[in-house]
């Protein structure tokens, strides 16, 4: 064994109670008042610890994947071996090219990047070619309010008062877009994420109804999210930019959209695809007419990894912050959002570890 030998891989479910100033929204048909992802803790032979994060809908399922698949395959291996993650991906590919196994590997991947940067004693952005900016604008990403104009006005005003200058809606109607545009005025960029609401023959009309209210982009307008032919056809018909990527079935599908310039924005999620895949997609955007705008709706190491990605890329885009009131805010002390901006951390690795949050009981095993 060497200092870089992996001796432990643990999945720690991260459950953050939240309030969004209205009754809980529905998720998979049930009221949702907690946001779930999972910390991935990787320890080396010499005691060095690195952190990642995996998308996690069902903590018991993800823990089982780590305990029965990921940890046994990773422990005893050299964390610095560039073939480690590709080997695991190929070994486990028959369990699915998307879904919980891929999400688990994504969390491990983030931790391996964190480890490498810590070993080299540099901030993560340095491994991505260096930072292009010292701070990044953050936009307020509202949960769904089901087109309730009063609530949309109240929460939009709250976000503006907190210093945010850009807003994203998770709504599906022109009425919701109209309410927010009336609330924030003509100059605030307002994105709309429909979460794959429309079939291809429905999207053009639904978007046309929103156009008078100047959406900045329409995100994931079509089911299925990787239907690149339907997205390309829609792009040719509507004057508003399209954004996709969070729910694309695999990194290959998203990269193909970049190469074909199917949409104007791609949004890789590091906690679903991994930092390596997101970095590859970002590099593919260079020289194209597609902008990489990483999607990040959670609050752990994946949030910081997305921040470093944005800091290192040429195109300036904003970082997503799910706009809810959390019972505990991870990295509130080490990487605070102040008046709609966040400083890029300069400490080695991701720039902060979640030990403070663990000590405060924000996470449950």
Buried-exposed string 16-49: b where 16+ CB fall within 10 A, e elsewhere:
bebebebeeeeeeeeeeeebbbbbbbbbbbeebb
3-state secondary structure of 68: helix
- Kindly tell me if the per-residue pLDDT of 363 is higher than 60: no
316-340 residue pLDDT tens: 999 999 999 998 888 988 899 999 9
- Kindly tell me if the per-residue pLDDT of 267 is higher than 80: yes
For residue 97, name the pLDDT band (cuts at 50, 70, 90).
Answer: confident
348 contacts: CB under 8 Å, gap ≥ 6? 117, 118, 120, 121, 122, 123
CB atoms within 10 A of CB 360: 11
Q: Identify the pLDDT of residue 147.
A: 95
For residue 81, name the pLDDT band (cuts at 50, 70, 90).
Answer: very high
Q: Identify the pLDDT of residue 248.
A: 79
292-308 residue pLDDT tens: 999 998 899 999 999 99
134-189 residue pLDDT tens: 999 999 999 999 999 999 999 999 999 999 999 999 999 999 999 999 999 999 99
184-213 residue pLDDT tens: 999 999 999 999 999 999 999 999 999 999
Q: Identify the pLDDT of residue 365.
A: 44
Higher pLDDT, 214 or 364: 214
- Kindly tell me if the per-residue pLDDT of 14 is higher than 90: no
- Kindly tell me if the per-residue pLDDT of 77 is higher than 80: yes
What is the reported pTM? 0.95
CB atoms within 10 A of CB 1: 11
Contact 183, 152 (CB under 8 A): yes
Distance CA 186, CA 327 (A): 33
Q: Identify the pLDDT of residue 362.
A: 53
Q: Identify the pLDDT of residue 36.
A: 86
What angle in degrees, to the nearest 10, is found between the helix axes of 275-285 and 301-312? Answer: 20
Q: Identify the pLDDT of residue 293.
A: 97
- Kindly tell me if the per-residue pLDDT of 237 is higher than 90: yes
Which 8-state DSSP code applies to residue 123?
B
Q: Identify the pLDDT of residue 276.
A: 97
3-state secondary structure of 60: helix
Q: Identify the pLDDT of residue 98.
A: 85
H helices of the chain, where?
59-65, 71-74, 84-91, 100-119, 124-127, 149-161, 174-184, 200-210, 228-237, 251-259, 270-273, 275-285, 301-312, 355-359
Buried-exposed string 269-297: b where 16+ CB fall within 10 A, e elsewhere:
bbbbbbbbbbbbbbebbeeeebbbbbbbb
- Average pLDDT on 12-32 reads 86
Lowest mean pLDDT among 1-15, 18-32, 250-264, 293-307: 18-32
3-state secondary structure of 27: strand
Contact 118, 48 (CB under 8 A): yes
Exposure of 124 in the CB half-sphere (CA atoms within 13 A): 31
- Percent with pLDDT over 70 in the chain: 97
Instruction: At 38, list the tokens.
Output: 């999972």
């Amino acid at each position: 064994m060497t200092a870089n030998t992996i001796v432990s891989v643990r999945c720690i479910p991260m459950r953050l109670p939240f309030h969004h100033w209205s009754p809980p929204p529905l998720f998979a048909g049930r009221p949702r008042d907690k946001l779930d992802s999972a910390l991935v803790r990787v320890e080396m032979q010499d005691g060095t610890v690195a952190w990642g994060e995996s998308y996690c809908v069902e903590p018991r399922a993800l823990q089982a994947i780590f305990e029965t698949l990921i940890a046994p395959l990773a422990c005893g291996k050299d964390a610095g071996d560039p073939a480690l993650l590709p080997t695991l991906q190929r070994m486990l590919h028959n369990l699915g090219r998307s879904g919980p196994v891929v999400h688990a590997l994504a969390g491990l991947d983030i931790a391996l990047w964190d480890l490498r940067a810590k070993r080299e004693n540099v901030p993560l952005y340095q491994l991505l070619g260096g930072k292009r900016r010292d701070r990044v604008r953050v936009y307020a990403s509202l949960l769904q309010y089901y087109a309730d104009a009063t609530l949309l006005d109240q929460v939009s005003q709250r976000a503006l008062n907190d210093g945010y200058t850009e807003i994203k809606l998770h709504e599906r109607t022109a009425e919701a877009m109209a309410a927010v545009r009336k609330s924030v005025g003509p100059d605030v960029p307002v994105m709309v994420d429909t979460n794959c609401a429309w079939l291809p023959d429905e999207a053009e009309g639904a978007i046309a109804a929103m156009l008078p209210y100047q959406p900045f982009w329409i995100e994931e307008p079509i089911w299925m999210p990787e239907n690149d032919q339907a997205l390309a056809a829609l792009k040719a018909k509507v004057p508003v930019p399209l954004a996709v990527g969070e729910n694309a079935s695999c990194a290959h599908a998203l990269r193909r959209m970049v190469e074909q310039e199917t949409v104007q924005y791609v949004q890789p999620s590091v906690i679903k695809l991994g930092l390596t895949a997101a970095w590859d997609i970002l590099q593919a955007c260079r020289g194209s007419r597609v902008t990489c705008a990483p999607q990040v709706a959670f609050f752990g190491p994946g949030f910081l990894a997305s921040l470093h990605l944005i800091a290192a890329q040429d195109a300036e885009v904003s970082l997503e912050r799910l706009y809810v009131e959390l019972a505990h805010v991870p990295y509130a002390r080490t990487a605070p959002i102040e008046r709609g901006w966040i400083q890029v951390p300069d400490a080695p690795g991701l720039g902060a570890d979640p030990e403070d949050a663990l000590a405060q009981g924000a996470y449950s095993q």
